[in-house]
Amino acid sequence: MKPSPREIVFALVLLAIPLAAWSLEFAPRQRRQEDLKKKIAGKQAKLDKLFEKKRLTGAIGDLREQIAEGKEAVAIFRSRLPDEKEIDQIVREVWRLAKSNELSPTSLRTVPPRKGKQFTHFGGPHGEQPVLIQIEGDFNGLYSFLLDMEGQSRIMRIRELQLKKPEETHTGKVSATIEFSIFFERKKGHPEWTAKT
């Protein structure tokens, strides 16, 4: 059995229909889908970048807030640090505090800074001036004096406190030697620390 020409033409037409459908419909649709997928991927990448920028911008905003808070804290501490010139005013204030608490200051003097016992760097922008005060009076007055020292707006640190009471009396009188440090801010043009910065 030989196929007739009519059957051959019919078989060719049947074969041509899927080939035509593939080349005219399915192949262009597949290309369009691939192009759309590429566009979607590109837009998704842009979206990811925008979200990352937004996240970074939010983080930068948070950093700005933290920097502003840090600047406020520095300003508060700076206001509590006197200039080097104001140390004598603070020493006079300590003397006045002792007198107001009914104590008798017998000696008040600055002592040279000791390198091994300081909290501040010797050549840095902040300094520490040790002061030695010897006072006598009632123990309650000494206690009030120490509370007043703690309540001062300036930053001070008591390094050493030696208490002595007279051996023959029980009147509540004491004599104390107090070494405390006054922290201060050096001048901006101070030669010790401008050479190092």
Tens digit of pLDDT for each residue in 40-99?
Answer: 999 999 988 888 887 777 777 778 888 888 888 877 777 767 677 777 888 888 889 999
State residue 194's pLDDT score: 40
Instruction: Specify the DSSP element, H or E, that contains 1.
Output: none
State residue 119's pLDDT score: 67
Residue 134 pLDDT grade (very low, low, confident, very high; cuts 50, 70, 90): very high
pLDDT at residue 176 greater than cutoff 70: yes
Whether residue 137 contacts residue 163, with contact meaning beta carbons closer than 8 Å, is answered with no
Whether residue 122 contacts residue 115, with contact meaning beta carbons closer than 8 Å, is answered with yes
Stated length of the chain: 197
Reported CATH class of domain 84-194 = alpha beta
Residue with tokens 């300590």, as numbered in its chain: 94
Cβ atoms within 10 Å of 128's Cβ, excluding its own: 21
State residue 86's pLDDT score: 78
The alpha helices in the chain, defined as continuous H runs, are 5-21, 27-80, 87-100, 139-150, 191-194
